[in-house]
Amino acid sequence: MKNNIYTLAILLLLSSCSISSESQSSEVSNTPSDDFKSILINVDAEEVKLASAIETMEIMQLEEGDEGFINAIHKLSESPEHLVIVDSNQPSDFIYNKEGKFEGTFNHTGDG
């Protein structure tokens, strides 16, 4: 049931997003791209510390046309303590506390 709710929420977000034909910059940004600001997944702070081991993550693949602008959402836990914004255009995900204050990033590419 809970997975169905996540799937429905994600599908609603996808239906409200539009793919831009603008060229993507390879430069790493310190903030998430606009398309991903509303995609918030609850995570547990302890699991965030372990997130470099990708085996601990449950990965859901989502594709949108040939662009695949959302290619993975990492669901780390059901805890409401922290939120993560997953941006497939960047090598790091963005961690916010439950009040929405930025707390940092974690790398999910395996590069460090």
pLDDT tens across 37-96, in order?
444 444 444 444 444 333 333 333 333 433 333 333 334 444 445 555 555 556 666 666
- Which pLDDT score, from 0 to 100, does residue 73 have? 37
- Which pLDDT score, from 0 to 100, does residue 39 have? 41
Q: Which two tokens stand for residue 85?
A: 């914004």
pTM, rounded to two decimals: 0.26
Q: For the chain, state the CA radius of gyration.
A: 14
DSSP, residue by residue, the chain: -HHHHHHHHHHHHHHH-----SPPP-SPPSS--GGGTT-EEEE-HHHHHTTTSGGGSEEE----TTTTSS--EEE--S-SSEEEE--TTSSEEEEEETT--EEEEEE-SS--
Q: What is the mean pLDDT of residues 8-36?
A: 47
Question: What mean pLDDT value characterizes the chain?
Answer: 47
The answer on pLDDT for 18 being more than 50 is no
